[in-house]
Amino acid sequence: MCIRDSQDIARLPQEVQHTFALQIYSKNIPKSTVECLVTAYNNKTTPAALKQEIIKNPALAIQTINPVKVVKCVDNDTEKDISTRWEAAIRLLLKLIAEVETYLAAMNTEDINKYHRLLAVICHSMGRFIKMVEQLISPGKPVINGGVDDGNG
């Protein structure tokens, strides 16, 4: 580990420095990527779920932050790697959904109205995602009631 990496790691909260250092060292993550990860972690707008991912699995977290730098720290050639990355991405998605649900529950109507368009885009995107997953789970079976099992089908 070089001095520059150590300086970047020192910018993290002390309780996560050791875990992060072990992860970046064991995965040979380049110093430019380390700097990007630390900056993202310290950004006050970074979701808590992504911060956890940065510490526990920096090679996957960088994909969310800056897909261009992924090539430096993740081998894209093996099926096992794709499967591992897919599972990690889905688990991160679940964490982010839970975090967003918490924020939505705490927001008032006026705040929600400010994000009406963004929420509509999310609904559309999630709808496409749900339809794709339903087709993978039950190929050939028609999607009824927007994919919700009402017990009649």
Gap between the Cα atoms of 59 and 133, Å rounded: 25
pLDDT for 75 beyond 80: no
> What mean pLDDT comes out for the span 133-151?
63
148 within some domain: no
102 within some domain: yes
- Same-domain pairing of 69 and 128: no
- Same-domain pairing of 22 and 51: yes
- Same-domain pairing of 128 and 71: no
What pLDDT, on a 0 to 100 scale, did the predictor assign at position 116?
87
Gap between the Cα atoms of 41 and 52, Å rounded: 9
150 within some domain: no
Q: Smallest Cα–Cα separation from 50: which of 42, 61, 35, 36?
A: 61
90 within some domain: yes
Burial letters 38-51, b for 16+ CB under 10 A, else e: bebbeeeebeebbb
Are the beta carbons of 21 and 1 closer than 8 angstroms?
A: yes
- Same-domain pairing of 64 and 120: no
Higher-confidence residue of 141 and 26: namely: 26
- Same-domain pairing of 46 and 98: yes
pLDDT for 58 beyond 60: yes
149 within some domain: no
